[in-house]
Amino acid sequence: DVKVTQSSRYLVKRTGEKVFLECVQDMDHENMFWYRQDPGLGLRLIYFSYDVKMKEKGDIPEGYSVSREKKERFSLILESASTNQTSMYLCASSMNQLREQYFGPGTRLTVT
Amino acid sequence: AQKITQTQPGMFVQEKEAVTLDCTYDTSDQSYGLFWYKQPSSGEMIFLIYQGSYDEQNATEGRYSLNFQKARKSANLVISASQLGDSAMYFCAMRLMNRDDKIIFGKGTRLHILP
């Protein structure tokens, strides 16, 4: 069965803290993605990776960085969390360019 | 510009009725894939169905079918015999073969199934 896991379902952090969101997939997928989802704005792509140590900016990369040291793991980093980064964060992976993405359960991050 | 449009922000349907969720897309690319995802209140995005731009037959997966009309650039999701557990947010999405591997999502339709 396809499996994408995220390190936390809920997270509360303070402004200025460094935040790590971890995502792991067990399907040997090449491609991994990070999205944020906000009411009225839908899903927006932050970063994606098509191979180990490779990363590409999505539509809203500002304030975020990513790391992919191993194929199965894709980390999203908030260098200095701000209140406007309060959101639902969704990780996804896919086998190749045209096929479906499989999503993790999401992390609801609150920055106070 | 590449775009997905879902014109129904919310829908209410009686249990056991069929439901059609609208989706239109805009692209000049010839190779693309179309997807529908379901997001229940728990937050997880669940893949439902896929249609490739060169597929001649409409995709079906159990109670889900995709009404693909290429000339009209529409990819409506049809749910037959709706169930209470179908209440969720539904997203239509498009992926382009030669465009940096991104997937473009619509804003979603909130479906409520009434008992």
With a cut of 70, say whether residue B99 has pLDDT above it.
Answer: no
Of A102-106, B80-84, B95-99, the poorest mean pLDDT is in: B95-99
Distance CA B108, CA A83 (A): 25
A95 shares contact with chain B (CB less than 8 Å):
no
Nearest to A61 by CA among A47, A78, A74: A47
Per-residue confidence (pLDDT) for residue A39, from 0 to 100: 86
Distance CA B74, CA B66 (A): 10
* Contact by Cβ (8 Å): A46, A35: yes
Residues in chain B with CB shorter than 8 Å from the CB of A74 are none
- pLDDT band at A95, cuts 50/70/90? confident
Amino acid A39 reads P
Work out whether strand A19-25 and strand A42-49 pair parallel, antiparallel, or are unpaired.
unpaired
Distance CA B45, CA A59 (A): 20
pLDDT, greater one: B25 or B2: B25
Distance CA A109, CA B25 (A): 31
Amino acid B96 reads L
Per-residue confidence (pLDDT) for residue B13, from 0 to 100: 95
* Contact by Cβ (8 Å): B112, B12: yes
Residues 6+ apart with CB under 8 A from B57: none
- pLDDT band at A66, cuts 50/70/90? very high
Structure tokens, B102: 């991104």
Q: How far is CA B32 from CA A19, B50, B70, in A?
A: 35, 11, 11
With a cut of 80, say whether residue B114 has pLDDT above it.
Answer: yes
Closest Cα in chain B, distance from residue A12 (Å): 17
Comparing CB atoms, the residue among B31, B42, B106 nearest residue A42 is: B106
Cβ pair B91:A43 closer than 8 A: yes
**B41-63 per-position pLDDT tens digit:** 988 899 999 999 999 899 999 99
Distance CA A50, CA A68 (A): 10
Nearest to B68 by CA among B83, B78, B79: B78
- pLDDT band at A98, cuts 50/70/90? low
Residues in chain A with CB shorter than 8 Å from the CB of B23 are none
pLDDT, greater one: A58 or B79: B79
